[in-house]
């Protein structure tokens, strides 16, 4: 609710400080009793709050699980995540976001689920999304760019998530073109970009982000154990999901605004600094066949360039990449 948002915004702005019931009532435009009820709701959701006479309320600790409120508290963005739709369990956050996209949801709206029953990868593949462990979310953007440039947003998102992982965990993720983030050679993140468009006009871009955060090895199906990992496995400790989500929102917002202002070039440079395959021999499996050669890099449109053994340079728009 908007009252709840005001309350959490106030605690965010005055981090660690006591806020009096009267102050909050004035701010929220409601009675002190109503404020107290909202505080009780927060407690029921797992927030630890201190109440001191004549001083007011103070948040001591946020809950362990992820909730829209927990993500809002401390969130420093102005676009991404201003509207959060949090679900315990969904088929796919992409589906929910597509519906909201059609319903004119505000740009920056995010759908987050604790669990996905039918998580989607590219080309109708599945994305394993068990509960309590990962970040499964879809972000709605509405950029005024030609359709052909939309894949750049996948690369932009990969950079944002990589930056956030570095900042929150100290791990060193690498990006495998176009949409995989690896840590120590195993996949921790997948990104799925889908479009709603009419003719050449983008209505919305739905960016799906799946991050393995706190899974143990045994949480992965056996078939994935050799190729997938979680941040927690690599770091050796549990990672705070809400805080990572906040950092991703912030990085995504910064890069997206930079992109709208100056175009793809600065994003390309950042992307290349995380890229794993540049200069190496790779095989691109495309719908029309395989191409093996040296990865030269991406051009300013985000297209991958591969030079085969005959010196012919191929432009790859969509493929799965194998290293070596």
Pairing of strands 180-183, 134-141: unpaired
Q: How far is CA 314 from the centre of its chain?
A: 31
Single out the residue of 162, 153, 110, 122 nearest to residue 286, CA to CA. Answer: 122
Which residues, 123 to 142, sit near ligand BTX by CB under 6 A?
125-129, 136-138
From 187, 294, 305, 314, residue interacting with ligand BTX (rule: CB under 6 A): 187
Write the CB contacts of 50 (distance below 8 Å, at least 6 apart in sequence): 18, 57, 58, 60
The smaller minimum CB distance to ligand BTX, of residues 21 and 214, is found at 214
String of DSSP letters for 90-120: ES-HHHHHHHHHHTTPPTT-EEEEEEESS-B
Residue 87 interacts with ligand BTX (CB under 6 A): yes or no:
no
The smaller minimum CB distance to ligand BTX, of residues 59 and 159, is found at 159
From 67, 69, 94, 133, residue interacting with ligand BTX (rule: CB under 6 A): 94
Residue 169 interacts with ligand BTX (CB under 6 A): yes or no:
no
Distance of alpha carbon 256 from alpha carbon 244, whole angstroms: 18
From 67, 69, 92, 152, residue interacting with ligand BTX (rule: CB under 6 A): 92
Residue 174 annotated as lining a ligand binding site:
no
Least Å distance, CB 260 to ligand BTX, is 23
Burial class (CB in 10 A: 0-12, 13-18, 19+), 83: middle
Residue 192 interacts with ligand BTX (CB under 6 A): yes or no:
yes
Residue 122 interacts with ligand BTX (CB under 6 A): yes or no:
yes
201, 177 contact by CB (below 8 A)? no
Distance of alpha carbon 34 from alpha carbon 38, whole angstroms: 6
Residue 212 interacts with ligand BTX (CB under 6 A): yes or no:
yes
The smaller minimum CB distance to ligand BTX, of residues 120 and 241, is found at 120
Residue 22 annotated as lining a ligand binding site:
no
Q: What is the largest CA-CA distance in the chain?
A: 79
Q: Which residues bind ligand BTX (CB under 6 A)?
A: 92-94, 116, 119-122, 125-129, 136-138, 179, 187, 190-192, 208-210, 212, 224, 228
Annotated binding-site members for biotin: 116, 187
């Amino acid at each position: 609710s908007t009252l709840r948002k005001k309350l959490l915004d106030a605690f965010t702005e005055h981090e660690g400080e006591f806020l009096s019931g009267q102050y909050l009532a004035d701010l929220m435009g409601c009675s002190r009793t109503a404020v107290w009820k909202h505080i009780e709701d927060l407690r029921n959701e797992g927030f630890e709050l201190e109440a001191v006479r004549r001083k007011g309320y103070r948040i001591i600790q946020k809950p362990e699980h992820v909730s829209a409120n927990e993500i809002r508290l401390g969130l420093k963005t102005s676009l991404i995540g201003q509207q959060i739709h949090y679900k315990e369990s969904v088929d796919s956050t992409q589906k929910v976001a597509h519906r909201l996209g059609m319903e004119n949801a505000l740009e920056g709206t995010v759908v987050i689920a604790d669990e996905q029953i039918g998580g989607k990868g590219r080309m109708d593949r599945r994305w394993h999304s068990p509960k309590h462990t990962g970040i499964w979310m879809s972000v709605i953007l509405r950029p005024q760019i030609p359709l052909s440039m939309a894949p750049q947003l996948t690369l932009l998102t990969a950079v944002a998530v990589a930056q956030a992982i570095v900042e929150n965990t100290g791990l060193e993720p690498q990006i495998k073109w176009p949409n995989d983030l690896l840590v120590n050679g195993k996949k921790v993140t997948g990104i799925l970009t889908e479009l709603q468009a009419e003719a050449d006009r983008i209505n919305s871009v739905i960016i799906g982000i799946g991050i393995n955060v706190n899974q143990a090895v045994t949480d992965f199906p056996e078939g994935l154990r050799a190729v997938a990992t979680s941040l927690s496995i690599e770091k050796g400790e549990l990672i705070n999901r809400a805080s990572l989500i906040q950092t991703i929102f912030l990085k995504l917002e910064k890069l997206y605004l930079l992109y709208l202002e100056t175009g793809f070039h600065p994003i390309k440079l950042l992307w290349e600094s995380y890229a794993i395959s540049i200069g190496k021999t790779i095989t691109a499996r495309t719908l029309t066949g395989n191409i093996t050669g040296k990865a030269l890099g991406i051009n300013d449109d985000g297209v991958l360039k591969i030079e085969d053994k005959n010196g012919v340079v191929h432009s790859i728009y969509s493929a799965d990449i194998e290293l070596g």
